[in-house]
A and B are shown apart, each in its own frame.
Chain A
Amino acid sequence: MVQKGEEMKDYSPSEMMIVRAARELEDGQVVFVGIGLPNLAANLAKRLHAPHIEMIYEAGVFGAHPLRLPLSIGDPTLVSGATAICSIPEIFMYYLQGGLIDVGMVGAAQIDRYGNINTTVIGDYHSPRVRLPGIGGASAISLLAKKMLVITNLTKRGFPEKVDFISTPGFLGGKRERDKLPVEGKGPSAIITDLGVFGFDQVSGEVVLQSLYPGITVEEVRERVGWELRISDQLTISPEPEKEELRIIREELDPRRIYI
């Protein structure tokens, strides 16, 4: 029979991503949250080291206290018990464009060597091989939040050297190009994947592998990246999720195991 304590040692790649993203958030920050793993990460951080995080959802919610995992971005669970509700123009104009957002979290279908994100099409725009969802709120988050985290699985198809379409800018052709944009956001700060975490070179804006998850090798990561990947001199191994983190994720945040 498996001991309860032993069972808790196992964790899924998604749980590791949630924990890693949560640890990037600091107490008191105003966080622009999306559905799925970003929502789980923000709610985990709020229950642990960052109880004063304010969660903003693009549907028009400030200071959400959801009692369940939202089924979609407009879930009424985000409204009941929230601090404030406003319209979508207000969320984008006053909160985001007004410079009130500390951290935004977005997903990506494809992300490239300079952190540019594609969520629009695979192939040609006018006759796409695959039509993806489009931009949604992501470009504004990237341009207007002070810091942006990207949360996505690491796959060969998802990490080409150059994306087919820039839906949401990363460092464009390099950091110098991004710095010319007249906006608050200075580019993504990390890509949190299911195998490890990437940062960006301070000078060039190129993706650099910063941290591996326990048991993952550099080779496994390289195999899934479509260019000659740079590895940080200070490559770390991310600590495993703690028991309390896993308990909160499994028992409180996603008891039906939809995302984990």
Chain B
Amino acid sequence: MKESKVLSMKEAIARYVEDGCKVICEGFTHLIPFAAGHEMIRQKKRDLTLCRMTPDLIFDQMVGAGCARKVVFSWVGNPGVGSLYALRRAVEKGIPHRVEIEEYSHFGMAMRLLAGAANLPFMPLRDYYGCDLPKVNPNIKELRCPYSGETLFAVPPLNPDVAIIHAQRADQLGNTQMWGLVGVQKESAFASRRVIVTVEEIVPEEVIRGDPNRTIIPGLIVDAVVEAPFGAHPSYVQGYYDRDNQFYLQWNDISREVSLLQKYLEEWVLGVKDRQGYVNKLGEVIIKRLTPPASWSQPVNYGIYR
């Protein structure tokens, strides 16, 4: 019998996220690990290099809370709404302190993670021709193909110290299943030295093994499994809840003002003990509003072969 990897969020973050480390929290506007982000803020993590293709509200909150030294990204904004003002304040004015940035295109970030996951020194890609970004980011290099001689661009691997991924379900060994948009979560997990998975539900191993095609991350590379229902709120989880768009719109005003942002953090992050406290505070009315009607897929037949 293998040992369970189930930890509380507090234990998982305390054990695997050290000050100064490089953390990737993926999820392309879907399945964003907000519960883990809030725990990093509560534990006052500092000097983190935060990596995400789309920093989203989670990194705006973490930058506003003073957790970050650097942000690595490919598109920075409040998706469908506007700007991330805390991040902009840090970059443009150095409030609360100067945050360094390192940026790519989406294609470049995805290829960095793929190189990281595949243990390769770089990935070639047909992007960046005619772009100014390689002039300001020396990590993006021109490359001559050793076969055809043509010019390509290359990006180096991204190998974070820790990946934090939110998913619909996992078993207690960390075998993780995800559906809907899967973004670069698999690549992020394989590219990272440590992996924390947070899930809506921990399920028995036979649920996972009954549908292995849906397993995105194997327990083999997972260090901690955390049960965190509603752990991606205010972002979406396919089949579980919708984005709390009212909050995304409110964030536009909150993040503009340092005082409003601090008030938010005190009330919704530092003022609650854990995710359960946050969910209780959110209340049933909001949870009900965000729960979609069901749409089940047809089961598939894997067959029994003996």
Contacts and interface: CB of A to CB of B under 8 A. Distances in A.
B248 interface: yes
Contacts of B179: 85
A172 to B, nearest CB: 5
B180 interface: yes
A68 to B, nearest CB: 10
29 contacts: A36-B80, A71-B79, A71-B80, A71-B243, A72-B80, A74-B28, A74-B79, A74-B183, A74-B236, A80-B295, A86-B182, A87-B186, A88-B106, A89-B184, A92-B106, A133-B77, A135-B74, A135-B75, A136-B75, A137-B105, A137-B106, A139-B105, A139-B131, A143-B130, A165-B132, A166-B131, A167-B132, A167-B133, A182-B129
A86 B107 CA distance: 14
B53 interface: yes
Nearest to A170: B130
Interface string B90-103: 01100000000001
A12 B292 CA distance: 32
B131 A169 contact: yes
Interface in A113-156: 120, 125-126, 128-131, 133-140, 143-144
B186 A134 contact: no
B183 A136 contact: no
A140 to B, nearest CB: 4
A125 B103 CA distance: 11
Contacts of A71: 79-80, 243, 245, 248
A217 to B, nearest CB: 32
Contacts of B128: 139
A136 B54 CA distance: 8
Interface stretch (A40-48, A56-64, A194-202): A56-64
Interface hub of B111, B187, B243 (most chain A Cβ within 10 A) = B243
Given A71-B243, A76-B30, A88 B127 contact: no
B130 A76 contact: no
Contact of B28 (A59, A133, A140): A59
Interface of A: 35-36, 58-61, 70-76, 78-80, 85-89, 92, 96-97, 120, 125-126, 128-131, 133-140, 143-144, 165-169, 172, 177-178, 181-183
B94 to A, nearest CB: 10
A145 to B, nearest CB: 12
A126 B239 CA distance: 42
A250 to B, nearest CB: 20
A172 B103 CA distance: 21
A76 B181 CA distance: 8
A140 B187 contact: no
A248 B88 CA distance: 38
A67 to B, nearest CB: 10
B76 A75 contact: no
